[in-house]
Amino acid sequence: MAAGSVTAEGEGGGSSRPPLPPARGGDAGASGPVRTGVRVRAASATARARRRAEGIRAVLFLVPAALFLLVFVYFPAAIAFGLAFFHFHLLGVHTTWAGLQNFRDALGYRVFWIAVRNTLLYAALMIPLTVSLAVLFAALLTQPGRYYGMLRTAVLLPYVTPAVATAIGWLWIFNPQYGLADSLLHSLGLPPLPWLQSTTWALPSVAIYTLWHGLGFDVIVASAALGAVPRQLQEAARVDGADRWRVLRSVTLPLISPTVFFLVIITTIGTLQSFSQIYALSGGQGGPAYATTTLLFLVYQTAFTYYHFSYGAAMALLLVVLILGLTLLQRWISRRWVFYQ
């Protein structure tokens, strides 16, 4: 690159941009190469100063978020990681080194495996239902018109309500004697279900509530993806003779597959971290007979009901491993079906 082509943007700025004006106060009488060299150095210094200033500004903008993450996420996570290797008591009284004992105890604990099973079962219920219903509702609601806008708002509404308060309301809906859920079954000629009182139906009941509460967010995300699908591709497919199902299967779904993958990932993580609705719907017990005890609930119970902080931290780390494993598995599988334009 010719020296004279260096611009204020730095050395990679390209030759199409105008050259820098002479530096103010510089050596105006200097001849050709010397003068150019001075201008280059001056330009480099200005560029460096600008980059530094931008860097400082960027750091200043990032500091609040970084501090938040540091104080409320990374620092507690590091503490929890450390705790898992001790028999920790508050204030450090009688705290002793435990090595891997907490992990061994957790892996040999019957209720831990019940919680793992419940967690995976809950995820198996929630992920396909959430993703498929989100895409379905989004397809139905992505229509022009005032009423569809109102419907989209209605679908989102439960998402903005507090989980515990609405879960308490759903306790009434699931009441086997006088609840709306059984009234609905009765009106359809179906037998009543014991819902939260049953070891079989308690976890699906929690899943129904969670779907009601959280689906709106997924619908909005899926709606945005559907709205971004190029119409000309769908029209071209129709011109080629594809029916609506074929257009959806062969054009629309592949084009929104990155968003579907995103929904799968966040639903998986959200599902594995579910707590408040389980706590509220099971009366804080995780029952009946551990039927709604998920891993996160067990972590809470172990740490904050029984005050076994280190044991709970070890379980939490095992949950992290589970989430990481599932996410990597989904990422690996996604290579076969996620289509990036």
Contact residues toward another protein (CB under 8 A) are 89-91, 93-94, 105, 109, 111, 168, 171-172, 175-178, 194, 196-199, 281-285, 287-290, 301-302, 304-308, 311
Q: Is the dihedral of CA 109, 115, 121, 127 positive or negative?
A: negative
Q: Which is nearer to another protein, 65 or 93 (CB)?
A: 93
| CB contact set of 149 (below 8 Å; sequence gap of 6+) | none
User: For residues 60 and 93, which CB has a smaller minimum distance to another protein in the complex?
Assistant: 93
Cβ-based neighbours of 124, under 8 Å, separated by 6 or more: none
Q: Which is it for the CA torsion 332, 333, 337, 338, positive or negative?
A: negative
Is the Cα torsion angle 253, 255, 259, 265 positive or negative in sign? positive
Calpha distance 240→107 (Å, rounded): 57
Q: How far is the CB of 85 from another protein (least distance, A)?
A: 16
Q: How far is the CB of 110 from another protein (least distance, A)?
A: 8
For the bound state, the minimum distance from the C-beta of residue 89 to another protein, rounded and expressed in Å, comes to 6
Contact 315, 298 (CB under 8 A): yes
Beta strands in the chain (DSSP E): 86-87, 96-97
Residue closer to another protein (CB basis): 114 or 134 = 114
* C-alpha–C-alpha distance, residues 67 and 70, integer Å: 5
167/251 with CB nearer another protein: 167
> At closest approach, how far in Å is the CB of 162 from another protein?
12
Cβ atoms within 10 A of the Cβ of 40, count? 15
CB of 160 to another protein, least distance (A): 21
Residue (16 or 177) nearer to another protein, CB: 177
